[in-house]
Chain A
């Protein structure tokens, strides 16, 4: 019973790890950065909104470029895809 519960907790943790971080940790960090920037800049509406959008685009393009530049490693590097 205890072993079963342990396995369930591990599987639950693995699911969230794969979902949030997986093979693109830069996207997770980028989103934390976007949310942080929005909180810091919440008193300056125009700057905050523009910063959020620009940062999101920068992290998307950066991560996509990283996907190209790391194409060479074998499939196992990709891990479980979302």
Chain B
């Protein structure tokens, strides 16, 4: 495997793991309140639909779109997604934004499901429509970004199979660990994972935009780890700088954090 392929597989794996943790929190809450059968069936239906989307969109992308155009467009998409994740991770790591709280999301989902229909009363078939829909939507919505990442990275490197396999391994692994640790998903250092994925997606985005526009990188694939190292440095400086800003005006930011998002992603 080349450097690009290893980095690609790692980026897809981490991105899928992060999104899977977020989806799993809702699925676990749904299972606990509305019954496990519907929660699991909803999740499986969501995963199957996402896999179909990868197949339907990915194959034509790889076969029929000119590679240079594909790389510019996909590089741009990766940059939008990567910069967005990185920005958010920096704001959280520096204390400007509340961390993603899986425990809070779990509690909120439990409360919402109780409000919407008692403690769960599966019908004769043992199925619960609300449980199915909530799990299905959680997996589908969180998984859409994974589909985009799989398609983007997979298509631009012409390694759609590798990207899809990495995502599948992450889904299975996080699902397995999630079932073992049950509600302890909050112990997973999600912001660090999100920061790592943001750095990787941004690096791939810059790399593919360069390759697609004809600005070929010196060292070809080896430029990717160099870009990653560079963005790690920029991120560290940005976190330190934003922390320093927080020290300058702590009361302002504390007030702002108290006023907004308890749970935002």
Mark A residues whose CB is within 8 Å of B: 15, 19-20, 22, 24, 27-28, 30-32, 34-35, 38-39, 41-42, 45, 48-49, 52-53, 56-57, 59-61, 63-65, 67-68, 71-75, 77-78, 81-82
Contacts and interface: CB of A to CB of B under 8 A. Distances in A.
A71 B213 CA distance: 37
Nearest to A20: B80
Given A35-B75, A52-B215, A72-B259, A27 B84 contact: yes
Interface string B210-222: 1001111100000
Nearest to B148: A19
A56 B235 CA distance: 12
A60 B230 contact: no
Nearest to B227: A53
B125 to A, nearest CB: 26
A78 B261 CA distance: 9
A67 B213 contact: no
Given A64-B87, A72-B255, 10 more contacts: A19-B148, A24-B83, A27-B87, A42-B214, A49-B215, A60-B86, A64-B242, A68-B245, A71-B253, A82-B84
B136 to A, nearest CB: 15
Residue among A39, A64, A77, A81 facing the most chain B CB atoms (10 A cut-off): A64
Contact of A31 (B80, B215, B252, B257): B80
Contacts of B242: 64-65, 68
Given A42-B213, A67-B96, A71-B96, A52 B260 contact: no
Nearest to B81: A82
Contacts of A60: 83, 86-87, 202, 234, 238
Interface string B140-155: 0000110010000000
Contacts of B255: 72
B79 A31 contact: yes
Contact of A64 (B75, B90, B144, B265): B90
Nearest to B255: A72
Interface string B80-117: 11011111101100001100000000000000000000
A12 to B, nearest CB: 11
B209 interface: yes
A56 B202 contact: yes
Q: Is the interface of B mostly helix, strand, loop or mixed?
A: helix
A56 B88 contact: no
Interface residues of B, number: 45
Contacts of B161: none
A67 B148 CA distance: 25
Interface string B24-66: 0000000000000000000000000000000000000000000
Contacts of B91: 64, 67-68
Nearest to A30: B83
22 contacts: A19-B80, A19-B81, A27-B80, A31-B76, A31-B83, A34-B206, A35-B209, A35-B213, A38-B209, A38-B210, A42-B213, A48-B215, A56-B83, A60-B86, A61-B234, A63-B87, A64-B238, A72-B259, A73-B260, A75-B259, A82-B84, A82-B145
Interface in B178-224: 202, 205-206, 209-210, 213-217
